[in-house]
A and B are shown apart, each in its own frame.
Chain A
Amino acid sequence: MTGPLLFLLILLSTGLTAILVYHAGWRLPRDSRERLRGSVRAFAHAVDCRCHDRYGRSDQVCELALKIGSALGLSKRVLGRLELASYLCNIGMTAIPYQILNKSVAERTEPEQATFARHPEVGASMLELIPSLRSLAPVVQNVLAWWDGTRTPYLPAGFEIPIEARVLAVASAYSGASANRMDGVDLLESGRGTRFDPAIVDCFLDTVWTNTRPAANVGIRTGTA
């Protein structure tokens, strides 16, 4: 009598352990990440609401950044960080006065531009205070950093800039340029090696951009190449 029962119990206990381990090890972290991602996205949307020309931009930047990231062959973990960082990189804009935020770069005076350029620093100091997002603070702090370090001497340059920040710089510059009806490709090519990491710009232009460009742009790209 006890033989089959014991067998059953052993089977059951193994099964339950497997379920619990699956729940704690895979389901729970995945669900939490998903939940956090959704909420961080909501706050990015709040930032978009504050700026006139940003409606829907954070989703667009995130999509571009992830495409560049996977084209670069980044690991799944880094892609996850990239996704969160793309939503969080403008969080500091909430502390920039509304009037300064909603002027174009050309309209801003020198001190106003200096105030605006502090938003990554503000955002990073916000994230510093949140334990679960603290590791993203260096990424957010460096999204405006130049690859060659000429314009941003107070920030790291070259490979010292976190990879997520380098990718985000390219993605948000391209998305911002297209939102302002400028040629994003021109911007990237002129900033290649100075403002942007050349490898990432090449990767973007060769894989991401050629696959997603609108049909009308085909001639432009082949013309410049």
Chain B
Amino acid sequence: MRPPREGKFSHPGGKRLPNPTGIRPQNQAIWAVIILGFAAFGLSWFLMPPVSSLLLPLALFFGLVLAAEWVPVPVGEHGVQISVSLPIVVAVAAVFGPADAAIIDGGATLVAGILAVRSKFRTRWQWPLFNAAQSAMSASVAGMAVLPITHSMGGASGIALATLVATPVYLIVNSVIVAIAESVVYGGRFLARLQEKRRLVGFHYGVYALLATWIGLLAYFGQYWACAFFFLPMAAARRCFLLRARHDRDYRETIRALGLMMQHAHPYTGGHLDRVARFAALTAERLGLSSQDVDLMFDAALLHDLGKIAIDEQILNKPGRLDEQEWALVRMHPVIGAEILSRVGMMEPVVPWIYAHHERPDGNGYPKALSDTEIPIQAKIIAVADAFDAMVGGDRPGEQRPYRVSMGVEQAMRELHDCAGKQFDERVVMAFTQIVREQGAA
């Protein structure tokens, strides 16, 4: 796995996080990983020097890893890439030793990275070095972890067990390093980043472990020519992951775009929903929600007013007071929105959030007048972000609401704090105002 390429990275909020640490600590973190990578490589060399008598098979494996690294698979929405080289590296680590695996993985990643920098993507030159170091470190740690197994058991069963153990070790080390690097360079909580990695790679793990086991067995019996047989499933696996990622992304984008455009019937909603979604996702992240919830939070905030398309705009935009009947209609919009979204497969977890986004902790909200503990935290986040942006209003004149005069950011924040505990949740308001101040300063 590799961290997202610089510049291609996008936060759920659509914008890159402002980097609070400046340029220097980033470089320090990258250099720390590079040095640690060399240290791990040295240690594995010390424990078990690389096998030099089998140059031809090692070159073959190097070529295979290079081919896999050259065409990485993007997973998820955040620009994280994985490559299918892992089974080969793990097999080499189990059969030949950690130092060989580190040389092959690190070397191939470096070559692929440098070639990529020159031709495909224009990234900073540290990234190939960083990626090489972190793969070398992952490979050597995975190899060293299974040294006791191969030493004590020996034989084909030892190799099989070693590959099965080394695959998760590699993945864990790799995820932790990438998560640390991302949280240092791009900001965000380390645990949330790690969780995101687990979610992204979980599916691939089984296939990797299987492939690794039998590449290892083939290498153990010296049947290198049989590589042809696992090249086929590997190419198929890569294609499969790629398609899966592409289908997921397409689906998500389609839902977002359709839902967003349907809400554009209301003149002020466009920019409003974008901002609400961005701030809601940032607040959710700050409050420690899981990365899956943060992503869903973004979509939920984009679509939270979908129910309004069933209500006459003349009532929604009415400048004066609404009569009893009109109020009853307006109160229906969370219910209708939840009902519509309950039919969208991906949005199922979001339904209760949409349903409750006009509930209040003091029990005076609608549609159900739920009490504080019954309202999901995500609904409270939407409520705060929505209210804040409605108060501040857009910069463009068309986005100001006809029934309300927009106010300044400071005044709106005071209003939020005054209503905390009654209309809004106190914790959410605290986190939200922090986010607004940071964004304003950036």
Provide the residues of chain B in CB contact with A39, threshold 8 Å: 251, 254-255, 258, 343-346
Instruction: Considering the complex, give the chain B residue whose CB is closest to the CB of A48.
Output: B310
Select one of B214, B265, B312, B343 contacting A45, CB under 8 A: B343
* A225 proximal to B (CB < 8 A): no
Q: Is the CB of A99 within 8 A of B314?
A: yes
> How far in angstroms is the closest Cβ of chain B from A13?
4
> How many contacting A-B pairs (Cβ < 8 A)?
130
Which stretch of B95-103, B130-138, B215-223 is in the interface?
A: B215-223
The docked-state distance in angstroms from the alpha carbon of A6 to that of B220 is 12
- Range of interface residues on B (Cβ < 8 Å): 35 or more
The docked-state distance in angstroms from the alpha carbon of A39 to that of B239 is 26
Q: Is the CB of A46 within 8 A of B239?
A: no
Select one of B226, B251, B346 contacting A6, CB under 8 A: B226
Q: Is the CB of A94 within 8 A of B262?
A: yes
> How far in angstroms is the closest Cβ of chain B from A212?
25
Provide the residues of chain B in CB contact with A29, threshold 8 Å: 247
Q: Is the CB of A32 within 8 A of B251?
A: yes
A9-B217, A46-B309, A130-B257 are known contacts. Are A35 and B240 too (CB-CB below 8 A)? no
By secondary structure, the A interface counts as helix
Select one of A10, A12, A28, A38 contacting B344, CB under 8 A: A38
The docked-state distance in angstroms from the alpha carbon of A101 to that of B247 is 35
Select one of B211, B236, B262 contacting A24, CB under 8 A: B236
A2-B223, A35-B251 are known contacts. Are A20 and B345 too (CB-CB below 8 A)? no
Number of residues on chain A facing chain B (CB within 8 A)? 44
> How far in angstroms is the closest Cβ of chain A from B296?
15
> How far in angstroms is the closest Cβ of chain B from A215?
33
Instruction: Considering the complex, give the chain A residue whose CB is closest to the CB of B262.
Output: A94
A5-B217, A24-B243, A46-B340 are known contacts. Are A132 and B254 too (CB-CB below 8 A)? yes
The docked-state distance in angstroms from the alpha carbon of A28 to that of B242 is 11
> How far in angstroms is the closest Cβ of chain B from A209?
30
A13-B232, A39-B344 are known contacts. Are A132 and B250 too (CB-CB below 8 A)? yes
Provide the residues of chain B in CB contact with A50, threshold 8 Å: 309-310
Select one of B233, B244, B345 contacting A16, CB under 8 A: B233
Q: Can you name 24 A-B pairs with beta carbons within 8 Å?
A: A9-B218, A13-B229, A13-B232, A14-B232, A17-B233, A20-B233, A28-B240, A28-B247, A29-B247, A32-B250, A39-B254, A39-B258, A45-B343, A46-B310, A49-B309, A49-B336, A49-B340, A50-B309, A94-B262, A98-B314, A99-B314, A126-B258, A131-B250, A132-B251
* A residues lining the B interface (CB < 8 Å): 1-2, 5-6, 9-10, 12-14, 16-17, 20-21, 23-24, 28-29, 32, 35-36, 38-43, 45-47, 49-50, 91, 94-99, 126, 129-133
* B residues lining the A interface (CB < 8 Å): 156, 207, 210-211, 214, 217-218, 221, 223, 226, 229-230, 232-233, 236-237, 239-240, 243-244, 247, 250-251, 253-255, 257-259, 261-265, 306, 309-314, 336, 340-341, 343-346
The 8 closest A-B pairs by CB, nearest first: A42-B343, A20-B236, A49-B310, A98-B312, A24-B240, A32-B247, A94-B262, A39-B344
